[in-house]
Amino acid sequence: MSGVLGVTLRGMEALPVEVEVEITGGLFAISIVGMPDVAVKESRERVRAALRSIGLTLKGRVSVNLAPADIPKEGALLDLPIALGMMKASGILSNCPKALYMGELALDGRLRRVRGAVPAAFLARNLNIPLYVPSENAEEVALVKGVEAYCADSLGELAMMITGAEESRPVPPAYIPDTDVNADPDFADIKGQAAARRAAEIAAAGHHNMLLVGSPGSGKTLIAKALAGILPPLNDEELVETLLVRSTLGLDTKPTRERPFRVVHFTASTVSICGGGNNLRPGEVSLAHRGVLFLDEYTEFRRDLTESLRAPIEDGFISVSRAAGTVTYPSRVLLVLAANPCACGYYGDPVMKCKCSSLDIERYKRKLSGPIMDRIDLHIHVPRLTPEELLMLSNKGAPPEPSSVIRERVIKARKIQQDRWKEFNLVCNAELPEKLVKRCLTLSDEVRNYLATMAAKLNLSGRGLSRVMKVSRTIADLAGEEEITKKHMAEALMYREK
């Protein structure tokens, strides 16, 4: 008895599952063994109805075994291989080609979209066997290069394909999205905020984490979101990486070159942010992979939550250990934090009066410290514009620069960095490890002396010092200049917390 191959997911990885079916005489019953979860157990009813839709009525005792027995099987994606196994055991399917089969069955035999088609495509490629998926999964599978994949709308169509009665339908060629991306919101729509706009450009160019401090209504969220729109478009490899996360979660997998932008609220759980839980799914930090992770109202976040983010932010990946094993998710994000300037929110506001005592303000400022804050390169104040300022801005001067123009400069600066750090396999200045900073970022005597004086004044730590140097490198790259000048350094120092 040889089985039909299906898949189950562990974290973002697809694992092969062999489905073996045996039918013996006796009263009708279906049993499934091999650590199935509730959804797999429920597949009994779906599969039975779907088989009836193609004219097969099951009789006798049907035993389904899912191997290997020590891996938990989850979800409805095993419906299809179970149905094929039953067809084989009943003798109506003489030949079932060696391939990976995945899909959920509707009662009328239609194949429904399942999560995990992208990891399954990677598995099929590694095993060097074809993959059969529901047509609704075809688009995401097509983006994985070098995999032989077919799709069908229903169990009936698929059966015709594998018996050779009908030609197998290859998944259509991948829709490769345009490298142009639409920024929404666009910096052209953001009034004023020259300092934040400049800092966002530096953040995007060198992949520097940023903190925005401002009163409610100053537009911090808007700036964070617009930042995602000036990042370079995702390249093919990065696009598939982001697709892998979304496919694992069963989310929309329409291919796009736009960078992800994910907002995390302080009420979120550690699992929802970092991933894990019983089903080992990736969290927000992985959904933001290759894009922007935005933590609004940062001072409200619990310490344990920000502490748990430290490693994924630093390492670019996150490991979660459970009884079922250890899984790794990607988490290379640009971190943007937003916070009010004080507990009431209006310290330094041009119109509203701050109600906090100086003690309150000191206490509040202490919240803006800790392991995550150490990893922030750019501290920016985002003032709320007064109604007069807003009016004046709408009547005067040239319109603000659109995101597409800023993005062009960012792409140019990234290219310079990529070439420079090629030997270390790094793509941007922020990735440069601390031990390489002093060796690789040379400063003239004048700039070094200036930095030393300022570092003492600002009480910068060693880590802070290398962060300033990396930012100054990015500023010089944006200017297209080979040498870091005093002007670049002065600007980089401006973004340190005061």
CA distance 132 to 130: 7
49 counts as binding Zn ion under rule CB under 5 A: no
368 counts as binding Zn ion under rule CB under 5 A: no
* Residue in 15, 92, 129, 354 binding Zn ion, rule: CB under 5 A: 354
364 counts as binding Zn ion under rule CB under 5 A: no
Residues 6+ apart with CB under 8 A from 452: none
356 counts as binding Zn ion under rule CB under 5 A: yes
CB of 360 to Zn ion, least distance (A): 7
213 counts as binding Zn ion under rule CB under 5 A: no
The whole-angstrom distance between residue 87's C-alpha and the CA centroid of its chain comes to 39
Toward Zn ion, which CB reaches closer, 203 or 342?
342
Is the distance from CB of 379 to CB of 211 less than 8 angstroms? yes
Stretch that binds Zn ion, among 140-148, 238-246, 277-285, 353-361 (CB under 5 A): 353-361
CA distance 75 to 355: 53
Stretch that binds Zn ion, among 65-73, 165-173, 246-254, 349-357 (CB under 5 A): 349-357
User: Which is it for strands 4-10 and 317-322: parallel, antiparallel or unpaired?
Assistant: unpaired
CA distance 176 to 256: 8
Toward Zn ion, which CB reaches closer, 368 or 493?
368
Q: What token pair was written down for 315?
A: 């390492």
Build a one-symbol-per-residue string for 373-402: x at contacts with Zn ion by CB under 5 A, - elsewhere: ------------------------------
Q: Within 13 Å and on the Cβ side, how many CA atoms surround 266?
A: 11
* Count of other CB atoms within 10 angstroms of residue 99: 20
Build a one-symbol-per-residue string for 289-328: x at contacts with Zn ion by CB under 5 A, - elsewhere: ----------------------------------------
Q: How many residues bind Zn ion (CB under 5 A)?
A: 5
CB of 353 to Zn ion, least distance (A): 8
Toward Zn ion, which CB reaches closer, 343 or 392?
343
Most distant pair of Cα atoms in the chain: their distance: 91
CA distance 196 to 347: 18
Is the distance from CB of 206 to CB of 470 less than 8 angstroms? yes
Build a one-symbol-per-residue string for 328-347: x at contacts with Zn ion by CB under 5 A, - elsewhere: --------------x-x--x
Toward Zn ion, which CB reaches closer, 352 or 494?
352
CB of 362 to Zn ion, least distance (A): 12
Minimal CA–CA distance to 475: which of 107, 242, 221, 201?
201
Phi, psi of 388 (to 5 degrees): -65, -45
Residues 106-125 that bind Zn ion (CB under 5 A): none
Stretch that binds Zn ion, among 12-20, 355-363, 375-383, 421-429 (CB under 5 A): 355-363
Over 63-89, what HEC string results?
EEEEECCCCCECCHHHHHHHHHHHHHH
Stretch that binds Zn ion, among 40-48, 202-210, 352-360, 448-456 (CB under 5 A): 352-360
Give the residues lining the site for Zn ion (CB under 5 A): 342, 344, 347, 354, 356
